[in-house]
Structure 1
């Protein structure tokens, strides 16, 4: 191969990596710190992954006070999540990209064991994630802002 062909291949490979990195930031995939909408304090770190176009979010860490249970179980959950550790629990399921938001999935609130419909919207250059849980219609619910950790 000539130097010109090698340079062209190297530039093409670099361009592909750069475009992949830019696209990855336009996605909720990554680690997020959720902020309690009532207290304004961080509650947990949630890792969002994508598989076959569907987003899933799993709790990796809880921010608890020293006098609180550091590894609580979901005693208010039903079904397979009943009495399971909250750390490692999948709380987001089935969200799919729909224009500028992700919807069609659910979110579990381990504090009350309830499952809500959910939608996500990236904000501030994908540094923040508006997470909405609702019953029936999006305006019948509550939102939290999650902050990207990585």
Structure 2
């Protein structure tokens, strides 16, 4: 009988762990929190990895954690930046800040383009079951801007 109970307890623990993992995986695809591969607007090639985190108040921020391809230069600096990030290392730099949940997406934040040093208003929304993130940087109104599709990294 003891063998049966311990086997049942093991099965219950396994089922509980699998359910918790499924819930965590589902929650991850409902939010942009995670690591994303960006693309170069000109070449369409992978450019960098950006890690999006929740600051604890529901506001999302994104930081460059790795350059890819020609951008894999750890000593690369934002020479075009005009704010406090001027001449700072791009690796480790926060390029997205203040994103808040708004309807089906996230809005009210900003995104920095380290290539030209400009800061744009930003909107984001998940696509393809949370595996892609449409990121739109714009000036004034959303029609005046450009979008990129980032791919979630596992």
Report the TM range for the smaller structure's normalisation: 0.7 to 0.9
1:56 corresponds to which residue? 61
> TM-score normalized by structure 1?
0.85
Calculate the aligned-residue CA RMSD, in Å.
Answer: 2.6
Structure whose residues are more often helix by fraction: 2
Give the distance between the partners of 2:120 and 2:35, measured in 1 at CA. 21
Considering only CA atoms, is the larger Rg found in Structure 1 or Structure 2? 2
Listed as ranges, the gaps of 5+ residues in structure 2 are none
2:109 corresponds to which residue? 105
| Matching residue within 141, 144, 151 for 1:147 | 151
The number of residue pairs the alignment matches comes to 148
Give the distance between the partners of 1:70 and 1:12, measured in 2 at CA. 42
Cα distance, 1:14 vs. partner? 5.5
State the Cα deviation string for residues 65-107 of structure 1 (Å, max 9, x = none).
Answer: 39x8552111111232011000000000000111211111000
Give the distance between the partners of 1:63 and 1:132, measured in 2 at CA. 21
> TM-score normalized by structure 2?
0.83
Listed as ranges, the gaps of 5+ residues in structure 1 are none
